[in-house]
Amino acid sequence: MNRGEDGHSGSRGRSPASGHGGYRWKSETPVGVDRSLNESFGNRSSGSRGRVSGRASWSRHNSSGYANYEHRPVQAYVEKPLQVSNVGFVEKRAQNDGLGSTKQPVEVAASKFCGDDKDLVKLSASSSSKKYMNLSGGSVVSRECEDKDGARMRCDLVNRVKDVSLSCKDSVFSTSGQKVDHSSVVVDHGSAHKSGDGGNSSIESSTGLFDIFLEKTVMGVKPSLLEINREKRKASKGYTGIVIRPGMVLLKNYLSINDQVMIVNKCRQLGLGEGGFYQPGYRDGAILHLKMMCLGKNWDPETSQYGETRPVDGSIPPKIPVEFSQFVEKAVKESQSLVATTSKNMKAEDEIPSMSPDICIANFYTTTGRLGLHQDKDESRNSIQKGLPVVSFSIGDSAEFLYSDQWEDEKAEKVLLESGDVLIFGGKSRNVFHGVRSIVKDTAPKVLVQETSLRQGRLNLTFRQY
Ligand SMILES: O=C(O)CCC(=O)C(=O)O
Ligand SMILES: [Fe+2]
């Protein structure tokens, strides 16, 4: 995978290029080095690369199970028949995953306007405020999902969220083996904001790993009932599927708040253990504008290769939690059935092939984080050739996500990825250039922030099959 944070050779590198807001994408290398202008290009020698110091000798820990975490079904909605604006009425198969969905038909209401701005699409179920996306030839499918018993579900949501927080709270240990007590930790987005990107928790300072939680120091402002109710309404509406382009599907509002809380808590727990969140950097000394943790296999930005250990500290990446993989496989199935309703000439499986993730790259972007245009192409040749999709979860603050067939941000299309969105790109879009232009501050759901101690910023998980 070439991860272009400030565009390291089109891979997940970073590449300075002419660009928006201090972003430069093009570099001297053909495939994407994206270094920010204020970063040092030199310093190839060992030394300060802004990453965790030292090679800790990690003791193996059992990261595979969810012994301390009880995951419960979350989809308490009834699916209805599916309708797509320019495709007509289609019966939609119910989700089948044992994660709690019902097997009733689903109705999907679609809304697409073509005004002056061609292909302006309203995401009708995405939020209470109007959100528009500029899509070329995309189609939108909005699934209205109702809970069987609205009141009960809302109650359940709050209870489940609490359960998740509690069970995760109990299972969090610092790497020194000390149990971390979060009973006194109250979310304070206000103070998180004040401390900005520089804030860190006491655990972070003692381990050298990046903590995606911030410990509260001052009593924060609690979200208003109005805000909480708005978010609950949004959560109970279900998700909206959008075919952005062949092979690329966006499932808006796909992960429920309690799924997000579970994922955040699990990532925080893993992030403070062996192979946890650290500051990645390139061989030339440039750093990525994000913190990273790999699950399953390690992706090394210095070599653009996957391996079983992380060269910078010898750590072994934690396994991908089984619940995460279930979400991914289910999301891919959903995207396939959406594609089946919209593309007449292609089999959905050809457009977005199925996959079983064995790699997850978790990125945490602080509010100044970004990632330059790049292609994900360090997976096996077979995986890339088959177009096995990359599945991306967004949690926390929203991100301006760019995608393009070319390695030029001026030509890139933009879509806002909000908390709970799942983006899938495989098949013809497997090699799409993509990146994160910016993080939109203070846009994380208040309930999520209240129920976890997530910092300001964005957690992104991209799943792949090697
Ligand atoms: O954060 C995102 O949405 C994209 C992340 C990404 O492209 C990567 O990790 O390769
Ligand atoms: Fe990527």
What pLDDT score does 10 carry? 57
Nearest ligand 1 atom to alpha carbon 290: 1
pLDDT band with cut points at 50, 70 and 90 for residue 436: very high
The alpha carbon of 418 and the centre of ligand 1 are apart by a number of angstroms equal to 14
* Closest protein CA for atom 1 of ligand 1: 460
pLDDT at 80: 29
Ligand index nearest the alpha carbon of residue 460: 1
Question: Measured from the CA of 292, which atom of ligand 1 is nearest?
Answer: 9
- 374 labeled binding residue: yes
Predicted pLDDT of residue 271: 98
Ligand 2 centroid – CA 225 distance (Å)? 37
Place of tokens 């970063």: 39
Residue 166 has pLDDT above 70, yes or no: no
**pLDDT at res. 3:** 54
pLDDT at 233: 84
- From the CA of 288, how far away is ligand 2's center (Å)? 13
Hey, which of 304, 360, 460, 464 would you mutate to test ligand 1's pocket, going by the most ligand atoms within 8 Å of its Cβ? 460
Distance (Å) from CA 409 to ligand 2 centroid: 15
**Model pTM score:** 0.67
In this structure, what token pair is assigned to residue 425? 């790109």
Q: Whole-angstrom Cα distance, residue 418 to residue 199? A: 23
Q: Is pLDDT of 418 > 60?
A: yes
- Tokens 């609950």 -> residue: 232
Average pLDDT of span 135-150:
39
Q: Helix or strand or coil: residue 430?
A: coil
Side-chain half-sphere CA neighbours of 179 within 13 A: 7
The reported pLDDT for the residue numbered 308 is 98
> Would you say 34 is a known binding-site residue?
no
Which residue would you say has higher pLDDT here, 424 or 70?
Answer: 424
Quote the pLDDT of residue 231: 86
What is the whole-number distance in angstroms between the Cα of residue 459 and the centre of ligand 1?
10
Q: What is the pLDDT of residue 235?
A: 80
What average pLDDT does this structure show over 258-268? 97
Question: 43-49 contacts: CB < 8 A, separation 24 or more?
Answer: 43/284, 43/285, 44/283, 44/284, 44/285, 47/285, 48/285, 49/279, 49/281, 49/285, 49/287
At 293-306, the pLDDT tens digits run 999 999 999 999 99
- Among 6, 255, 371, residue to substitute to test ligand 1 (most atoms within 8 Å of Cβ): 371
Dist CA 58 CA 66 (whole Å): 21
Can you give the pLDDT at residue 203?
61
Report the separation in Å between the CA atom of 123 and the middle of ligand 1, taken as the mean of its atom positions.
22
The domains of the chain, with CATH numbers, are: 242-464 (2.60.120.590)
Q: What is the mean pLDDT of residues 43-55?
A: 28
Our CA angle for 208, 188, 201, nearest 5°, is 10
| pLDDT confidence bin for 12, thresholds 50/70/90 | low
Spatial separation of the C-alpha atoms in residues 262 and 255, rounded to whole Å: 10
Q: Quote the ipTM score.
A: 1.00
pLDDT at 344: 77
Task: Look at residue 345 in the predicted model and tell me its pLDDT.
Answer: 77
Tokens of 84: 């797509």
Mean pLDDT of the chain: 67
Ligand 1, closest atom to CA 434? Answer: 7
Say how many C-beta atoms besides its own lie within 10 A of residue 413's C-beta. 18
Is a pLDDT exceeding 50 seen at residue 440? yes
Residues with CB under 6 A from ligand 1: 1, 3, 12, 361, 363, 371, 376, 392, 399, 401, 417, 434, 436, 460, 462
Task: Confirm whether residue 434 is marked as ligand binding.
Answer: yes
Most ligand 1 atoms within 8 A of CB, residue of 403, 404, 433, 436 to mutate: 436
DSSP three-state, residue 38: coil
